[in-house]
Amino acid sequence: MTQKRGRIVVGVDGSEGSKSALRWAAGQARLTGAALEAVTAWESPAAHGWAPVYAHNRDHDALTKKVLSETIAATLGDSAVADITLIVAEGQPVHVILTASQGADLLVVGSRGRGGFAGLVLGSVSQHCVQHAPCPVVVIPPEDWDKG
């Protein structure tokens, strides 16, 4: 009987909270033997009333994937990039993360530490993921969360 390997999805946006989440998710993947997928999103600049003309050679997916790879390398080391599946998609971060987490065993996201009234007014990707994810969610605070 073949044992299921498992899948962990981690949202990475370059913030300190997402870097902490990436470190935690990588450790959990090592402990459990699960595959690790790092997901990030990009959005087209909003245009109100007119559409700006952008050079057609700008590949937002490729640029975002490069930034994601660099973030992983800086956070976990250069060799880690080869072991992680990179998922880059256009869209709102919450939607992209929730879509990527379909069928996952675990979703890991960082927290920027917003709470109280600011968290209620502004909303939060991590809070939305906790409420709507199709799998268990772990929210990791930035490593310096208790120093502020």
Minimum mean pLDDT range among 32-41, 63-72, 90-99, 107-116? 107-116
Instruction: Average the pLDDT over 33-42 and give the result.
Output: 96
The band of 30, judged by pLDDT with boundaries at 50, 70 and 90, is very high
pLDDT at 51: 56
pLDDT score of 40 more than 80:
yes
Cβ of 1: how many Cβ atoms within 10 Å? Answer: 3
pTM exceeding 0.75:
yes
In a domain, 124, yes or no: yes
Calculate the average pLDDT of the chain.
84
Tokens of 20: 């902490």
Does some domain include residue 102?
yes
Domain region containing 85:
7-43+57-147
Residue 2 lies in a domain: no
Question: 132 in a domain, yes or no?
Answer: yes
Residue 69 is given by DSSP the state H
**Domain CATH code at residue 103:** 3.40.50.620
